[in-house]
Amino acid sequence: MTLEKEDLILLNRTGDNLKSVLRQVVQHFPQSAGSINGMSRWLDFNRSNCQRILEGINKSKDGKDALCLFPGIAGLEEFLQKAAQQNIENSVLLEAQKAVEVFAKVLKKYARSHAELKRLLGSSVVKSKANHGALTSNEKREQHYLASKQLLGASINSLFACYILRENELNTQYLHEVALISKKGISRAIEAQPFIQFYSHPQPENFTSPEPICGDSRVQKGAFQVGVVEEFSTLGLIDAYSSYSASNSGIVFNNLPKSTQFDATFLFSNPDELSNPLNSSSNCSSTSISIKTPTKKLFMLVFLEKKLAMQSLVNVGCYAGNQKVEEGKLRADDMWTEKLPEFPELKIVPNGTPLQGDMQAMTDYLFNFAELDANDFCCYLLEVEHPIWSSTYRVYFEHQL
Task: Give the rounded percent of residues in the chain with a pLDDT score beyond 70.
Answer: 91
Closest Cα partner for 149 from 292, 279, 32, 48? 292
- Residue 192: pLDDT over 80: yes
Beta pairing partners, 179: 163, 268
| Residue 130 binned pLDDT confidence (cut-offs 50, 70, 90) | very low
Tell me what the mean pLDDT of segment 368-394 comes to: 94
- Residue 128: pLDDT over 70: no
pLDDT for res 400:
63
Mean pLDDT of the chain: 87
The terminus-to-terminus CA distance of the chain in angstroms comes to 39
d(CA 130, CA 135): 11
Query: Which is it for strands 174-188 and 295-305: parallel, antiparallel or unpaired?
Result: unpaired
- Residue 133: pLDDT over 80: no
Tell me what the mean pLDDT of segment 39-55 comes to: 94
Pair 30, 149: CB distance under 8 Å: no
- Residue 401: pLDDT over 60: no
Which SS3 state, helix, strand or coil, does residue 316 take? strand
d(CA 97, CA 107): 15
Contacts of 101 (CB under 8 A, 6+ apart): none
Task: Give the rounded percent of residues in the chain with a pLDDT score beyond 90.
Answer: 54
Structure-model confidence comparison of residues 317 and 74, the more confident one = 74
Tell me what the mean pLDDT of segment 9-27 comes to: 90
pTM above 0.85, yes or no: no
